[in-house]
Amino acid sequence: MNTGSNGIEGGPGEVAVVEEPDTDEADADRAKAAGTHGEQGLGSRAPAFVKRRRALHLSWQVGVFVIGLAVVAAGIVMLPLPGPGWVVIFGGMAIWATEFVWAQLVLRWTKRKVTEAAQRALDPKVRRRNITLTVIGLVIVGVLAGIYLYEFGFEMPWNIENQ
């Protein structure tokens, strides 16, 4: 992670800060230059007064990283436990995306893949296939449950003696 804190003026890792007026027109110009319509360009979304001071900006980045890490860790804990694990993980990624370009790129890729999957799922052929496979699976489970109940009744498998 290049934070620009190597102390060499103008050397590699130097953070360039460009002052722009905080107007909607400036935001529209940046979005147009970035080639996005309605999306912000890549980079830090920290307030301008934070970006102006290197130490404050580095502290801001560390804080955003720690908070995002805590949210992602909570999401990972929720995966095997009850709770919206994936939603919380993506929430942590969104927190990271406010400051880090790599997280912004990961979120864009994820949004694109989710949109593509949703479009594929809405295809009538795919929906028909999914419904057919679900019905076949439910019939198989029902038949197996019926066979079990016919053989053993409502007895749990661990309570069945040798028969």
Condensed to tens digits (0 to 9), the pLDDT of residues 1-27 reads: 555 444 445 545 555 544 544 444 544
Q: State the pLDDT at residue 133.
A: 96
Could you read off the pLDDT of 79-108 as tens digits, one per residue? Answer: 988 888 889 998 998 999 888 888 889 889
Average pLDDT score over the chain: 77
Cα distance between residue 139 and residue 163, in whole Å: 27
* pLDDT tens per residue across span 138-149: 999 999 999 988
Q: What is the pLDDT of residue 53?
A: 79
Q: What is the model's pLDDT at position 74?
A: 92
Counting beta carbons within 10 angstroms of the beta carbon of residue 75, is it exposed (0 to 12), middle (13 to 18) or buried (19 or more)? buried
> Using one digit for the tens of pLDDT, what is the confidence trace for 31-48?
444 444 445 667 777 777
- Is the separation of the CB atoms in 40 and 29 below 8 Å? no
How many C-beta atoms surround the C-beta of residue 40 within 10 A?
14
